[in-house]
Amino acid sequence: MRVGKAILGGLLAALTSESAAAQVSPSVFGNTIGKLMTPGKMPDSCYDGTGRVSAKAIQKVAPYVDRTIQNYRERAMGAEGIRTAFMKHGRLIIDGVEIDLARAKDPWLDPTVHLVRREDFVRATAGGFVLVRWNAIAHDGRVLGTYEGFMAPRPREFGFRELKLYTEGTSKPEALKAFCQMPGDVEAWREAKVKRDTERAAKKAAREVEAHN
């Protein structure tokens, strides 16, 4: 189903408002936008910052995020393992190396380790996805490492599309950035826009030169 940019832009503004976010669960929000999205056809407001989800709206999904982190811990410490915390085709990457989920084990967790979510997480402008970080803290207060989870909505929690682990002192994540549907798409949109604007300016200049000849 294709939706005009103006209509979709209005819908994004409505669903990302603080009042709407207070009443919409991650799975409902994601399904509503997801059914209407056409990849590459999102309105400019999804990328240029004018349609960004408010800080208060982001915090509305915090309980679901915290539940996902707690459920991850229970799975990692339990018999079922961490595989069920992932969406279909989900990926686990530890210090830059992708790990087979069928045999994956968390490298830091034991009964004495605490998981503490960091305050800086990003909620997609469209699609219901979130990008979240939390730390593994040893019993003596040392930071063992950082988790970065790209999560997709599912009933009562999120599931990992991708989970990256960064061992303290070995690797570290880049700064979190806002995104429309997928991490990195705002930067790609900006690059494409600069290219389009440059090409249009060159064509305009060429037409003006031709008109004066």
Q: What is the pLDDT of residues 37-93, one digit of tens each?
A: 444 578 888 888 787 787 787 778 889 999 999 999 999 998 888 999 999 999 999
pLDDT at 146 > cutoff 90: yes
Considering the domain boundaries, does residue 136 fall inside one? yes
Q: What are phi and psi of 167, to 5 degrees?
A: -70, 130
Could you say which DSSP state residue 208 is in? H
Q: How many CA atoms lie within 13 A of 103 on its CB side?
A: 3
Residues near 183 by beta carbon (within 8 Å), at least 6 away in sequence = 131, 150, 177
CATH code for the domain in which residue 78 is found: 3.10.450.50
205 within domain boundaries: no
**How confident is residue 3, by pLDDT bands cut at 50, 70 and 90?**
very low
Which residues 6+ apart lie within 8 Å of 47 measured at CB?
125, 180, 185, 186, 189, 190
Q: Which tokens in the block code for residue 195?
A: 């290219």
Please report whether residue 57 resides in a domain: yes
The answer to the question of residue 198 being in a domain is no
What's the confidence (pLDDT) of residue 122?
Answer: 86
Residue 86 pLDDT = 95
Query: CA–CA separation, 141 vs 34, rounded Å?
Result: 41
Q: What is the mean pLDDT of residues 167-183?
A: 88
User: How many domains does the chain contain in total?
Assistant: 1
Indicate the SS3 state at residue 164: strand
pLDDT of 29: 43
Q: Which two tokens stand for residue 137?
A: 């803290």
What range does the domain containing 66 cover? 5-183
Record the pTM: 0.72
Higher pLDDT, 158 or 30: 158
Structure tokens at 122: 């990003």
Tell me what pLDDT residue 40 has. 54
